[in-house]
Amino acid sequence: MQQVTPNVFTETNIRGCNPSYVTTSDGVVVIDTPQLPTRAVAMRQEAESHGPIRYVINTEHHVDHIFGNYYFKGAGSVVHHRGVYDNFMKVFPELDPFAYAAEAIPTDDPAGADLFPGRAEYYADPNKGTIVFTGDLTLHVGDHTFQLLHTPGHTPGQVAVHVPEERTVFTGDTVFSDCQTWLMTSDIEQWLQALDRLRRLDIDHVVPGHGPVTTARYFDTQRAILYEWEAAVASAISSGWTREETVKKITFADRFPVDIGQGHMMEYIQTLNAGSIYDKLTATRPL
């Protein structure tokens, strides 16, 4: 794993999110878990070599951030915002998270096939939160402070983890660094507000949900990406384009690559992003 500071470690070169951990004088705090089984098992072993795991924090409910919790059973308390807890591995019309996790095994983690549970076995105990909160939450572990900041936008229960002693923030998917941004069912207005909140932090290091570790300057880049998507779709609507025309014509595929292991999903991301924004901008709001 990449060492960002003497106590901050992250992995940015595998399929899924950037799973991370922070070492303290009284154990380890894990922030998001690997989607791939062999990576989850290896990360747990590495983290525990620094001391007992005190907490496992998930920054959102999307499967690439939470599936690895299964392999961290018994390793500290799992901490979830209520929005993460309520949607944890929930099957939605647009995505079955368990099937999505299983699909990655043959291509990205064939050695993990023997570690991958059956659906019933998994859902019997997927290792959900035992500490569930709303708003913000501050945890103290040894000589470190972990400020869990509710930063909705990408998902309703989105959380950023600010560790002031390390001058580091783990943003989850509020930041996609140098790779395609997944808008999905996001609330862009809330997402922009979340970025404004993160911009006020006094930090040196930004560990994003996807892509390389960056700095606070990337908050402005992420803001611009959101504005560009929304402006492009709004312009299409004002020009009278149908949803089908908008989805077909609007693309930012040339801007960034897709994150590791998902290159085949470029077209899917573009159509999903354009379609979701179109639906929101054309929806009739209640009086």
State pTM to two decimals.
Answer: 0.95
Percent of the chain whose pLDDT exceeds 90: 94
pLDDT mean over 244-257: 96
CA distances from 123 to 21, 88, 89, 117, 131 (A): 25, 10, 8, 9, 19
Q: Are 217 and 178 in contact (CB under 8 A)?
A: no
3 state SS of 75: coil
pLDDT mean over 186-197: 97
pLDDT mean over 222-229: 97
Q: Phi and psi (nearest 5°) for 211?
A: 90, 175
- 206 Cβ contact partners less than 8 Å away, ≥ 6 residues apart: 168, 169, 171, 175, 177, 213, 214, 215, 216, 218, 219
CA distances from 33 to 19, 268, 275 (A): 5, 25, 30
CA 10 – CA 31 distance, rounded (Å): 9
* Size (the chain), residues: 287
Neighbouring-strand partners of residue 57: 31, 79
CA distances from 197 to 29, 42, 89, 285 (A): 23, 34, 28, 27
Using pLDDT thresholds of 50, 70 and 90, give the confidence band for residue 286: low
What is the reported pLDDT for 95?
Answer: 85
First to last CA, the chain: 51
Tokens for 61?
């409910």
Q: For residue 156, is pLDDT > 80?
A: yes
pLDDT mean over 257-272: 92
pLDDT mean over 194-223: 98
CA 264 – CA 102 distance, rounded (Å): 16
Q: For residue 285, is pLDDT > 70?
A: no
pLDDT mean over 247-263: 93
pLDDT mean over 111-130: 97
Q: For residue 169, is pLDDT > 80?
A: yes
Give the number of C-alpha atoms closer than 13 A to the C-alpha of residue 141, restricted to the C-beta side: 23
Using pLDDT thresholds of 50, 70 and 90, give the confidence band for residue 287: low
Cα 88–chain centre separation: 13
